[in-house]
Amino acid sequence: MGWRVHYYSYQNRNDLRLGAGFQGAAMDSHLLNDARGLQARTVAMRREIHRHPELGLDLPRTRETVLDALSGLDLEVSCSEATSGVVATLRGSRPGPTVLLRGDMDALPMPEDTDLPFASEESGRMHACGHDAHTAMLASAAHLLSTRADALAGNVRFMFQPGEEGYGGAKIMLEEGVLEAHGAVESVFGLHVEPRFPAGVICCRPGAVLASVDTVCARIVGRGGHGSMPHDAADPVPAACEIVQAIQSFVTRRFSVFGPVVATVGRIQAGTTSNVIPESAELDITLRSLSEETRERLSAGICQLVEQIAAAHGLRGEADLRRGYPPTINHAAGVALVAATARELLGDPGYLEMSEPLMAAEDFSYLLQRYNGAFAFLGVAPPGTEGGAAPCHSNRMQIDEDAMAVGVAMHSAIALSALRGDS
């Protein structure tokens, strides 16, 4: 069984998208309409960032765009010194806890093939994971919440984060201390766009929502020689092929189907021409799992497999384990708040609980290791795609920009719900 949203009837899409016709009793009834009133600002900011994608931890242009968007608001703003991150705090009218809302800002090193009028103008770079939308939605949420500071029993902290795509920007900003430069954080919430889900629908689940990711860079070292005399060489290629096949058996026979793992050989390379036996072969293997215990067993087993299969061929196997992100584990209380808030804001059809996690990874996981909270998804399927939209990390990835109004309202509603001061 897949995600509930995968088989939810698209016949009701017009009712679902953008929460049409739904208003919660306790929720600010103007919140969604006011978010729509900011739509021109949100879209313009998203498109500006989309045109000029930046990579990694150093995003000077994007940072300036964020600072410009926040200018004029009554916020306490801090800039990360280790990254291009920005942290802004909105003080409520009454004392209380601090809720952190996060939006990541970095793009991917890949070409864009969307033919959009605001397509990337930077060669080999594209916002193919929606971080341009995340940043714009969070900035507009800062504007929306700034008009409602008198309703907040506590503070809202806006985290604009670089380096999610493999650089661990969240961890760097955590360790730097910039997230708590203006006071302690009690809870955290993140919202990620998903073009495969109906526009305007919020999706979440308790427990593991995203996987860990690690990489094993393996090298099989033999002895090169002439292709006509393999007996005089020590060929690493058959051993590398055997390792690829053995990984499949290892995953399916050493791990329960109820504790899923994914091992992918994304790169294999050996030799320079057809009549030369190379001295070495290389494999890059990504490993994904949903718990730290499984993560440790998986990485240790793959490294051992590389070394021992190579040894069985009379070769040397080298396995370099490079740790990535831990699994993203949602807290039950955080998910309960997301679900209740989404239903209050959008009506019952506007929230769908995921039946299973995704095996992608996120550095928001570091925040959830330290703070209570949740990571959720916003459906942004372009009109007419009916579940067949290009996914994140595709060179043709697009979103329904109208759905961003729901994202702005949801960020704001989470803060308002968490800081009502009536519990």
Residues with a catalytic annotation lie at 325, 401
240 alpha-carbon distance from chain centroid: 32
User: Which has the closest alpha carbon to 199: 102, 112, 116, 133?
Assistant: 133
Pairing, β 202-204 against β 372-379: antiparallel
106 alpha-carbon distance from chain centroid: 11
Q: How many CA atoms lie within 13 A of 163 on its CB side?
A: 19
Residues 290, 213: Cα–Cα separation, whole Å = 9
* H runs (alpha helix) in 118-176: 131-146, 169-176
Tokens of 324: 């990535």
Residues 169, 315: Cα–Cα separation, whole Å = 39
Start-to-end CA distance of the chain, whole Å, equals: 37
Residues 87, 98: Cα–Cα separation, whole Å = 13
Residues 187, 98: Cα–Cα separation, whole Å = 7
Q: Is 341:376 a contact under the CB 8 Å cutoff?
A: no
Q: Which residues pair with 219 in a beta bridge?
A: 282, 318
Q: What are the distances in angstroms from CA 231 to CA 199, 235, 269, 281?
A: 61, 9, 22, 18
Q: Is 204 helix (H, G, I), strand (E, B) or coil?
A: strand
Instruction: Extract long-range pairs of 76-81: CB within 8 Å, 24+ residues apart.
Output: 76/182, 78/178, 78/181, 78/182, 79/178, 80/172, 80/173, 80/176, 80/178, 81/176, 81/178
**Unique residue bearing structure tokens 């916003």:** 378
259 alpha-carbon distance from chain centroid: 21
